[in-house]
Structure 1
C-alpha cells in the first residue's frame, strides 16, 4: 500500500513538494491524502493548477466540497491554524510534511505528535540540533537515518547546496576558513512595495526594486552537518529581485595548495561519481534562469572558479531554491521510510 502523507502549510515549498513527488519515480509509493492550509479552497486549487515559476500542474486537479481530487485521488483539505486543530490520527497517516515554517523547537514540533501525527518531516532546520531527531542533507548523511526517528529536518535549500561542495573541498584541500555569500531570490516574507515587517527593517523594502541584505543561519547550519568546520565558517545573504534560482559564492582559504583547474577537477569528479543527480557542473555562460526547475541540490559553475595565490579560491554554485530543495525532501522521505520499513520490529 502507498504510504499516506499530509502537507501542513501549502505555500511555495508545500506546493513544490507535491509537484516534485508527482514527477518523481517514487510517485506510486506515496499518496498525499491531506493538506492543512488556512487559505480558502478555491485559492488552494488554483495555485495547485497554475504556477508562475514552474508552469501548469502536469495532471488533473478538481475540487470537491471539502478538498481536492488530484488525478482521481481525493485529498482532504483543512484550514486549521494549529497542529492540535487537525485530527491527524483519523487520517491514518505515515508522515506529516511540515512546510509552514512556523515550528522549529521540539516542544512545538511534538504538538504534531501529540495530535496524532506519527512522524514529521520538516522543510526547514530545527531551531537547534536538539530540537529534531536528525537533520539530513541527502547525499551527505542520509545513511545515518535508522527509521526510528519521529522528527526529521531536511535542513535548508542553501545548506543542501553548500554542504556537499564544502565536504569535497575540505577532503581535497583542507579548509582553513570559508565565507559564503548567498544571492537568494525574493521570498514571500518581503513586500512587493514598501510595507511593514515584524522584525527586519530591511525587509520592509520592496523586494522587486532593491538588492537587500538579510540575516542567515547558513553558517550554523553547515556546522551542524560538518562539525569539524565549526568556528571556521561564516555566511551572509542578500535577496535579489528575481523570482527563483539562487547562487552561493564561496570564498575559502586552504591548508594545501589550490588552483582553478585543481578545484574544478575535484568538483567535476564529485558530481559525476559521488553525488550523481545531486551535484552537477557546467562551464557554459549561464544566467540564473537556466536552472529554473533544476532538481540538483547545486550546480557548480566551473567558468567562475577563481584563485588568488596558492591558498585562496572561490567557487560559484547555482541552485533552484524551490525545486531542488523539494526534490531533496522527496529523496529524504523515501530513504527514511525505506529504513523504517526495514526495521526488524515495529516502532
Structure 2
C-alpha cells in the first residue's frame, strides 16, 4: 500500500511514527511527505515529541528526503495540493487540517491521488466513515472523511448500545485536552469567545463537531443524542462521559461493557483505576472503564478514555487499508 502524507503536523507525524514502530505496518510504504515547514524542522519534530517522547530511530533531512530507519522518503514543501504530482500513490492522507470541502479534496485528486482520506470533517466528501460504526458504507468512495477523534471514540460505542439495548436519548460530554486550535495566551481565536482564552490555564466549555458528525455516521440516531465539550489543560488523551437512557438496559451494565469491548476491534478496556496519562499511546478508538459505570433505572453513565492523536491515527491506517483493499 503506497501512501503519501500531505501535512506533517500532529496527525501526519503520529501516522509515520506508527508505521516506523509497528511491526504490523510493513504493508505500508510512505511514498512522499509534503509540508510547508523546513525539512530540518520536520525531522526535528519527528525525533523529539512532547507527548510520545523521542523517536526510537534517528530521522534526518537531507537531499530533499527524510532518512529514517533505512527508508528514504521524499520530502517536499508545496503549498498548493493541486501541484503535488503524486505519481504512483494508492492513497493520499490529507493531514493539513485545511481541506474542509469537497472542492479542496478534488485538488488532491487532480494532483494524481487515486483516493484521498481526510483527517478531519469534510463537507461534500463521498462519505464520512468511522471504523466500528459505518465503514460498510464506504463502497468505492474516492474522497473519504475520517471524521474527528471524538466521533471515532463515540460512534462505535453508540452503535453497540443501540444494537444491543436500544437508545432512547443521550448526552455526551467530551473532556478534551487542549489542541493547536486554542491559543497559549488569551488571543482572538475561533468562533466562540471562550476559545480565545489560554488553553493551558483554564477549563473551557465549548462545542464539539462530533454531534453533527454522529448524525452523518449513524443517521438512525439523529436527534436522540446531544453533546458538548470541555477543553482541559492537559496535552494529550481525552475522555467520553456519556449518559444514556436505554430501551432495554442490561442487568449488569459494567459486564455488558466488558462483553462489548471483547467483541469489538476498536473498543478497548481498562479495569485499573487510571488517569489520562496512563492511556497515552493506546491504539483503540475508545478504552472503556467499566468501574466508572453508574446506573439509575433505565439511565446509565458510561465513561471511556481515548488518545485523541494516537487512536485517531491508528484508525487512519485502518481506513487506508480498507480504501485500498
Compute the TM-score of the two structures, normalised by the length of structure 1.
0.89
Number of the residue aligned with 2:47: 49
Paired with 2:308 and 2:33, the residues of 1 have a C-alpha distance of 22
Correspondent of 2:56 among 55, 58, 62: 58
Q: Report if the CA contact (8 A) 2:91-2:324 is conserved.
A: no
Number of the residue aligned with 2:258: 268
Q: Report if the CA contact (8 A) 1:4-1:32 is conserved.
A: yes
Q: Deviations over 1:6-39 (max 9, x none)?
A: 1111111111111122233442222112111111
Deviation at 1:106, TM superposition (A): 1.1
1:7 corresponds to 2:12: no
Q: Deviations over 1:201-220 (max 9, x none)?
A: 21221111100122212112
Q: Which stretches of structure 1, 4 residues or more, deviate above 3 A after TM superposition?
A: 143-146
1:245 corresponds to 2:243: no
1:142 corresponds to 2:124: no
Correspondent of 1:317 among 304, 307, 318: 304
Deviation at 1:50, TM superposition (A): 1.1
Paired with 2:202 and 2:116, the residues of 1 have a C-alpha distance of 36
Q: Report if the CA contact (8 A) 1:119-1:151 is conserved.
A: yes
Map 1:182-261 to 2 at 5 A.
Answer: 182-258=174-250
Paired with 1:45 and 1:10, the residues of 2 have a C-alpha distance of 10
Deviation at 1:304, TM superposition (A): 1.0
Correspondent of 2:109 among 101, 109, 113: 113
Deviation at 1:257, TM superposition (A): 4.0
The structure-2 alpha-carbon separation of the partners of 1:30 and 1:23, relative to structure 1 and needing over 3 Å to count, comes to same
Paired with 2:57 and 2:307, the residues of 1 have a C-alpha distance of 22
SS state of the match for residue 74, structure 1?
strand
Q: Which structure 1 residue ranges, 5 or more long, are not aligned?
A: 339-347
Paired with 1:42 and 1:200, the residues of 2 have a C-alpha distance of 35
Number of the residue aligned with 1:122: 118
Paired with 1:257 and 1:245, the residues of 2 have a C-alpha distance of 29
SS state of the match for residue 114, structure 2?
coil
Q: Report if the CA contact (8 A) 2:131-2:156 is conserved.
A: no
Q: Deviations over 1:73-122 (max 9, x none)?
A: 22222222221232223xx2111100111112111111111122221111
Deviation at 1:57, TM superposition (A): 1.5
Number of the residue aligned with 1:329: 316
Paired with 1:258 and 1:223, the residues of 2 have a C-alpha distance of 25
1:94 corresponds to 2:83: no
SS state of the match for residue 120, structure 2?
coil
Paired with 2:82 and 2:127, the residues of 1 have a C-alpha distance of 23
Deviation at 1:181, TM superposition (A): 0.3
Map 1:147-158 to 2 at 5 A.
Answer: 148-158=140-150
1:282 corresponds to 2:270: yes
Q: Report if the CA contact (8 A) 2:250-2:256 is conserved.
A: no
Q: Report if the CA contact (8 A) 1:179-1:252 is conserved.
A: yes
The structure-2 alpha-carbon separation of the partners of 1:120 and 1:160, relative to structure 1 and needing over 3 Å to count, comes to same
Map 1:170-181 to 2 at 5 A.
Answer: 170-181=162-173
SS state of the match for residue 315, structure 1?
strand
SS state of the match for residue 26, structure 2?
helix
1:34 corresponds to 2:32: yes
Correspondent of 1:162 among 145, 154, 157: 154
